[in-house]
Every structure is written in C-alpha cells, then in structure tokens.
Structure 1
C-alpha cells in the first residue's frame, strides 16, 4: 500500500511538472511575435523571406512583389545587381549600395538593398515611388498593404432583362453580352424563355437599336444563349444530334441577323452527377461545331464555365480553351450568393484555370449580386496579379455607382 502511494505521488508530480511545462510553452507561444504578412490588393502574397525594418525603413522581398505586379526582374550575379523593367521604366539596384539607377538617373535610397536567404530585399518606400503602388504598414498586425496602380483590362458586362437602367454604362465596357435567348425544356432555342427573352420595344428604343448603338460606340455586342441542365434540357439537346445541329444553326443565324459580333454560350449545370466524362465530351462537341460555324461568319465565341473547384465538372477547360476566343470563369455562388465570394476560392479557381488555358483567354466572372464596393477591388487585384485578359461582370443593373467607382480605381476601362 505504501509503495502504491509513492507511485501515485510520483505520477502526480510528473503530471504537475508536465502541466507547468505545457503552460510555459503556451505562454511562450502566445508571447511570440506575429509573422509579417503582405497583402497585395487585399489578398495575401506568398513571399520567401520575412520583411525587415532597418533604420526605420521597411525592406521587402523585391522579386515576389514585382512579378505579381507584372514587372520583369533580372538578377546579375556578376555585379550583384537586380534590374526591373515595366513599360518605359527601368530600375537597377545593387546589393549593399544605397543608390539606384532609374532610367539611367541616380536615385538615393534610404537604406541599401540586402540579401536574406537568397532573396533581395529593397526599401518599400522606393518601390512605391517608382512603380506607382500605394503602400502602408500596420505595425500592430505587422502587415504590409500594397495597392497596385490601375491597369488597362478587357471588360465584358452582361445585359439582362433588368439591365435597362444601367444601359448608359455600356460604352465603358469592351464587350456586352445580351441575355435575351435560352434553350427551353425541350432542348430548343427560344426567345420567349423564362428570365431570358427578347425584350419588347419601349417607344423608339428597341433591342435591335440597343445592339446597333452598342456596336457603333465601339463596344462589341454578343448574343448570350443561356441554358441550365436542372431539368435535363442540356443533356437532351447534346444527346440528340438533330436537336443539337438545329440549335447551333439557329444560334448562328440569330446572331448574324440581329447584328451581333459574337456569341456567349452560358450552358450551366453540367457534370453534377452521372457520367461526367460523357457530359464533357458532348459539350465539347457542341462547342466545336458552333465554333466552326461562328468563325466562318466572323463571329467571336465566349464560353461561360463553372469553376474547376466547383460542383459542376462537365467542362473540359483545356480543349474548350482552344475552341473559343474567351473563357469566363464563373467563380461565384460557392456559398452564400448574397455575400462576397471567398477570395481563397476565387484564387484557387484562377490557378486551376491557368493550368489548362492561356491567361490571354481567361476572364474572371464577377457577380455583383454578391460583391460590393468594398470587396470588388480584391477580385480585380487577382485578375491583375495573374495577368488574365480581363473581367466579365454579372450584370448591368446590379453594379451601382459606388462599386463602379471602385472598379475604375483599380482598372482602366474602355470609357476611362
């Protein structure tokens, strides 16, 4: 009995000691300084080494930030210099030298660039001054925030039945897709479908006149054809060659007769369940036939696609990218369609698309039904970061002046 007491006392002592050690470890962890983060246009930017503060100046890893802003960077090991080029500006810096050359002119630096674990760190203030970025430092959260200057991007807007109130914004966009047609429940093209139908004239204002004025103003008008596989109409259309061929001929004919310069195919809901490979194959065949006929008439072709990190997997991005002029990544409706889309999911959708399609063909779809003036800038920042062709906004009538003003701060649009 005495031996048992000693054993239990020993165990109790060990537990107490372990508890104290864990407590000290937790306290040390809590007291550990937070790591520095860099936000580029509101979204975290991975970087190889921590920024440092030297003599009151914040030094940041140059290559990681520069390349995310589309700046070309070249390292010269012979003279330990790094050269950055963007458009008409060339900046050259040297390790451990407090001077830089900007288009051949000497500029003093607050502190010298330095190397840390193979990365060159330069003064953040110098970077901001030379490349037009707005930068700020939050000492409390150890966060460097960088807002990139406006960049010219291709922009498309969708025009639906409820878009008439914002039709004055059409000249600000490079292209507008008019959602006035759809595939009905029988797999046939119709201009009298639910939510997507040919509008009635409003006095002298007719749909044809809006399209003609759009084109005359230098904005490319697209005929948008909508369909959803919610009741199987898409599967029916794609499986029946007679229906398929007839629909393709009707789409091309309608686009040509009504004065459109392109076709936007918005076929949604493919590949949620069932034979995903078959859904991909049938949709690709439809697009291939449509693309061939559209090109013969000089019509452009844009495809609206569910994101690769979404539930609908019936879209072969790689093959479709070769058939269409533009792919619109519909990176929204992940969760709550009334709240801004999670940036991490949008970022993932872009990266997955880039693995399949050249960036010059990709447009990021942004739904203004869920975004607002506070959130839209970060989505535009991702488009700039990855060098995508541009954006596709759903839709006119939902944007609003505050969000439109924020968009123009981030990107240079056609009407700017």
Structure 2
C-alpha cells in the first residue's frame, strides 16, 4: 500500500471550508471518485463530496473544522473566511479570500499553492495548501483514495482507575487529573464493604498505606475518588436500591469511608441494571439512590457515575437525570467485542462513536462526559482513535481502565496516550 505525505502538518483552515450562502462559481471542478477523509482513523461524513480541479484535491471543511474545535466565520461582503483555533495554548487566526492565493496568518501574509474557490454555495481550499498552523498531520493514500488526518495533542481531564494490581504503576498517577481507587463494593449480600475478595483496601506495606497513597495524590492536586462497585447479576443491586434500610445503610457506609480515608469524591460503578428486570423501574430506583447519596455527601465531595453505553444491552440508566445530579459521567464504551475475545483487540470505533453521540443526544452535557477506555482492549495505535473521538466531540476528558494495564501489554501505550492528550 502506497502512502504519500502531503506536507508535514495541515492547517485546519486550509483543509476546506463548507460555508452556506455564497455564490456558485464551479469552474472546472468535478467530484472525485470515492475520496474519503478520516480524522484519527474515524471517517468524517460531509454534506458535499470531496472534489478535484486540474489534479488538485479539495475537501469540504466545515465538518473537519468543527471536529478540530476551530471557530469559522464567513464574511459575504468581502468573500473572506476567518478560522481561529489554538495550538499548544496559542491562538492562531487565519484569513482566506476566495480567488486569492494569499492568506493572512496571525497578521502575516502567506502564499497559497492555489486559491480558494466557490462551488455550489461552499468555499473550498486545496489539499496541497496545507501547512502547520493548527498542527494537524495529513497523509494521502492513493490506493484507497483516503485523506488521513491526525489531530494535535490536546489538554483534557484525565482519570485512571487504580485497582489492587496498580501499585507498580503508581508513578503514572501524576500524569492524571484524578484517580478512582477501586477498593470498595456493595457485595452479593447487599452490604457495602472495604474488605471484599475483589475490591478491598490494600494491606499496608511499611509506611505505605491506602490512606498515604490517597493523601499523596491529593497533595499533588490529583483528586482521589473512592470507586464503589456493584453488580445486579442476580438482582442483588436491585434489592439494595429497593430496600430503604439497606439503601440508607450503604449510603452511610460510603459517606463515612470517604471522609475517614481522605477521598475527594466517589465513583459509583453500578452495573447490570435494565438487563433482566424492568428498565424504567430500575432507572427510577437508581435515580432515587443517587439523589439520596448526593444529599448525604459533604459539599466538597464530588460525585461521578460510571454507566454502560446506550448501545449496550443495559437500559436501566436515565442519562439525563443522572447527569443533572453528578459532577461527571464516565461512559464505559467498551466490551463490544464477543466474550472470550483476546486482549488487545480494539473496540469498534463506529460503536464507540455511536455511544458518544447517543449519550450527548440523551442530555449529558459534553463538559460532563468522560470517555471510558479499557486499556486491555486497545493498542498504542487504536488508543489514539478513541482519544481522537473524545477530542472530536470536545468532551470533558477520558477515563482509563485501569492504571495497572498501561504497561501490561505494550510499553508504548503510555507514550501513545501522551502524544494524543495531556492532562489539563
């Protein structure tokens, strides 16, 4: 397969600008057969097909610009486009004019390989005019006729789950904004506990105690969360949610454990709701539980909820109501692959993309949504796809399951994550 580099990086403003309300000027432009565009290995859908004019490829840009977080404005009187975005914290502004081979970049004149043109009410910019203004890498695959774009590194909120097996990777904690410690659960008898077989406070190792690990994170301005796991495998979680006495007892236990051990927040990971039992009823039960828990927490304790995706079999989660009560929502957009699939088989990008869209459509604000990523399912290459989706939808950030898996399968995973995102 032949790959040809078309410049080192692409200025998002120089990709193509899809603007309505302009006067057509078609020239010799015609639709290119089957040209596709991907951003971070996930296809982009356009309302107009990419075009070719005298051997130069033009690609409609509005979709790309929005996916890259670039603000675009059109001035019909001057026939100019202004594109503004940031790269590594620095604002970049590009001005383009239809018919002109000169652009203005941060006040300086820059020569273009070809002039922007108008076609069917849109302004298009040639592929060959790409530059490094917004740090987006571009490649052209002649065999598949695909333009591949790679988004630049972006700051976002990063959270990792710290399980019993994560101690050896504790040096990665400073690269996170928050850490959820998986040390508690509501057990199969409906009791909240820190002493279970799978989820428990780890034993002290000399001066290193669970409390010292939590305090060390907090001292570095990394918010420590206590993760509370529960599963409705045989209706045991539903029993707790339905019984006022058991509900109150578990909430008291959670609240006391958070305060006593120095946690700054709670992540509720209540799984399996709406699979076997009535989904609407279970949504109400969970809403009531979260409302009661929220009311019992001190004001400085954050509440996060880990939920399955809406394109899964678990329908017992009222996304909009939960998001209105929680400080953020972790979308566990994984485990799409069949049971028994070996590790390092990436989750389908299309289903993860769909899960994000469904969550946003259901009423979860993007500034509250963290994309959950299972490191056991991803490779250093595919992790960029998932993080690219978090960037594309301008989500709050990403949550990694789990810290102990960063180096379990591939020593390049940490580097791959750092190339794509960095903590805010």
> Scaled by the length of structure 1, what TM-score is found?
0.89
- What corresponds to 1:303 in structure 2? 305
CA–CA separation in structure 2 for the residues paired with 1:412 and 1:187: 39
Pairwise CA RMSD: 1.6
- What corresponds to 2:337 in structure 1? 335
- What corresponds to 2:67 in structure 1? 68
Aligned with residue 323 of structure 1, among 322, 325, 330? 325
CA–CA separation in structure 1 for the residues paired with 2:310 and 2:423: 28
Aligned residues: 382
Residue 55 (structure 1) shift: 5.3
CA–CA separation in structure 2 for the residues paired with 1:197 and 1:204: 18
Please list the CA deviations of residues 294-329 of structure 1 after superposition, one character each: whole Å capped at 9, or x if unmatched: 2x3410010000101100000000001110001000
1:43 paired with 2:52, answer no
CA–CA separation in structure 1 for the residues paired with 2:382 and 2:215: 34
CA–CA separation in structure 2 for the residues paired with 1:298 and 1:292: 12
Equivalent position SS for 1:115: strand
CA–CA separation in structure 2 for the residues paired with 1:116 and 1:288: 54
Aligned with residue 358 of structure 1, among 365, 369, 376? 365
- What corresponds to 1:3 in structure 2? none
- Structure having the higher helix fraction is 1
CA–CA separation in structure 2 for the residues paired with 1:349 and 1:409: 24
- What corresponds to 2:99 in structure 1? 96
Equivalent position SS for 2:133: helix
Equivalent position SS for 1:186: coil
Counterpart mapping for 1:3-402 below 5 A = 34-54=33-53, 57-87=56-86, 88-294=91-297, 296-336=298-338, 338=343, 339-355=345-361, 356-400=363-407, 401-402=411-412
Q: Which has the larger radius of gyration?
A: 1
CA–CA separation in structure 2 for the residues paired with 1:134 and 1:340: 23
- What corresponds to 2:422 in structure 1? 412
Equivalent position SS for 2:125: strand
Between 1:158-167 and 1:42-51, the stretch displaced more is: 42-51
Residue 57 (structure 1) shift: 4.0
Residue 138 (structure 1) shift: 1.0
CA contact (8 A) 2:32 2:49 kept: no
Equivalent position SS for 1:90: strand
Residue 165 (structure 1) shift: 1.3
CA contact (8 A) 2:203 2:209 kept: yes
CA–CA separation in structure 2 for the residues paired with 1:185 and 1:168: 33
CA contact (8 A) 1:174 1:218 kept: yes
CA–CA separation in structure 2 for the residues paired with 1:161 and 1:48: 49
Residue 250 (structure 1) shift: 1.2
Residue 120 (structure 1) shift: 1.9
CA–CA separation in structure 2 for the residues paired with 1:373 and 1:380: 11
CA contact (8 A) 2:323 2:364 kept: yes
